[in-house]
């Protein structure tokens, strides 16, 4: 007999973690910004205990830094941080692309084509936030369709932080035509069955993400040192 699975409702900790994760990756909170448990509890209308647990979870993801006796802060980044993350992304995503092409070729092409068309629309509309969401989904879809749980788990460890870096530090992504067109080149190469060209474009694309403007952090330390004053109370 077939029994439908019952989805477990999210705990308050999971809700708090999701909201805080989104707030960091989509710019509600700045890099290096102090985060107090009281402020977050009031902002999200959730008690302090789930907030504290959520902050611990996000610390493990590298999105916040908890400094004993000082406080909790949104992460900051150095050029070396970005370089190391880019090296890891290249290794994971290129391998993920080959696996996805070998195991789920038809769905891979279909999904990427669908996402690319929506990226085109949001780019034309000037919707930066939605464009970056779709960009993240494009890469996430490749990794999901790799059908390799270990590759996907490793990717998830860095994907959210990579997205946050791109949002906070990328210089006008909608104006970077080559950034957008590379998604199309990857998709078209896969349609033709040319996974090697797709992988070469993906590799170039990942490294293009590392060409971001650290001058935008002129009000934030580049050495993961917390800011002195709260911006949100």
Same domain, 64 and 117: no
Report which of residues 136 and 177 the model is more confident about.
136
Domain housing 206: 79-214
CB-count burial class (<10 Å; 0-12, 13-18, 19+) for 206: buried
Backbone φ/ψ region at 69: left (φ over 0), alpha (ψ -120 to 50), beta: left
Same domain, 181 and 206: yes
Taking the CB of residue 126, how many other CB atoms lie within 10 A of it?
10
The two tokens of residue 114 are: 């669908």
Same domain, 42 and 140: no
Q: Which residues contact 20 (CB under 8 A, 6 or more apart)?
A: 35, 40, 44, 54, 55, 58, 63
Same domain, 89 and 67: no
The answer to whether position 70 is within a domain reads yes
The answer to whether position 181 is within a domain reads yes
Q: What is the CATH number of the domain that holds 98?
A: 1.20.120.530
The two tokens of residue 40 are: 């977050």
Q: What is the CATH number of the domain that holds 63?
A: 1.10.10.10
The answer to whether position 219 is within a domain reads no
User: How far separated are the first and last CA of the chain, in Å rounded?
Assistant: 54
Same domain, 158 and 193: yes
The answer to whether position 136 is within a domain reads yes
Per-residue pLDDT tens for 1-18?
444 555 667 899 999 999
The answer to whether position 225 is within a domain reads no
pLDDT at position 9, please? 76
CB distance 26 to 63 below 8 Å: no
Same domain, 197 and 105: yes
Taking the CB of residue 64, how many other CB atoms lie within 10 A of it?
22
Mean pLDDT for 107-119 is 98
pLDDT at position 80, please? 87
The answer to whether position 226 is within a domain reads no
Per-residue pLDDT tens for 52-79?
999 999 999 999 999 998 999 999 988 8
Same domain, 194 and 107: yes
When divided into structural domains, the chain yields a total of 2
Return the percentage of the chain with pLDDT > 70, whole number.
Answer: 83
pLDDT at position 233, please? 33
pLDDT level of residue 81 (50, 70, 90 thresholds): confident
Same domain, 95 and 183: yes
Same domain, 89 and 69: no
Same domain, 71 and 92: no
pLDDT at position 216, please? 53
Same domain, 28 and 125: no
Mean pLDDT of the chain, nearest integer: 87
Q: Is pLDDT at 231 greater than 70 in this prediction?
A: no
Name the strands in the sheet holding 64-67, side by side, starting at the edge strand that comes first in the sequence.
34-35, 71-74, 64-67
Same domain, 101 and 182: yes
Q: Is pLDDT at 111 greater than 70 in this prediction?
A: yes
Mean pLDDT for 188-212 is 91
pLDDT at position 7, please? 63
Mean pLDDT for 203-222 is 64
């Amino acid at each position: 007999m077939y029994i439908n699975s019952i989805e477990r409702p999210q705990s308050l900790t999971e809700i708090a973690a999701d909201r805080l994760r989104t707030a960091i990756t989509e710019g509600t909170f700045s890099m290096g910004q102090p985060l107090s448990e009281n402020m977050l509890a009031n902002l999200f209308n959730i008690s302090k205990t789930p907030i504290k647990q959520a902050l611990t979870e996000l610390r493990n993801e590298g999105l916040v830094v908890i400094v004993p006796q000082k406080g909790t802060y949104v992460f900051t980044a150095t050029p070396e941080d970005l370089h190391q993350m880019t090296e890891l992304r290249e290794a994971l995503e290129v391998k993920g692309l080959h696996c996805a092409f070998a195991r789920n070729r038809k769905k891979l092409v279909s999904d990427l084509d669908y996402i690319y068309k929506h990226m085109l629309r949001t780019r034309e509309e000037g919707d930066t936030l939605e464009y970056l969401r779709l960009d993240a989904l494009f890469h996430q879809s490749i990794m999901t369709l790799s059908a390799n749980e270990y590759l996907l788990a490793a990717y998830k460890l860095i994907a959210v932080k990579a997205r946050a870096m791109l949002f906070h530090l990328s210089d006008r992504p909608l104006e970077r035509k080559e950034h957008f067109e590379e998604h199309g080149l990857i998709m078209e190469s896969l349609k033709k069955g040319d996974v090697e060209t797709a992988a070469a474009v993906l590799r170039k694309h990942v490294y293009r993400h590392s060409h971001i403007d650290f001058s935008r952090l002129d009000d934030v330390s580049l050495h993961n040192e917390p800011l002195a004053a709260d911006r949100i109370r």
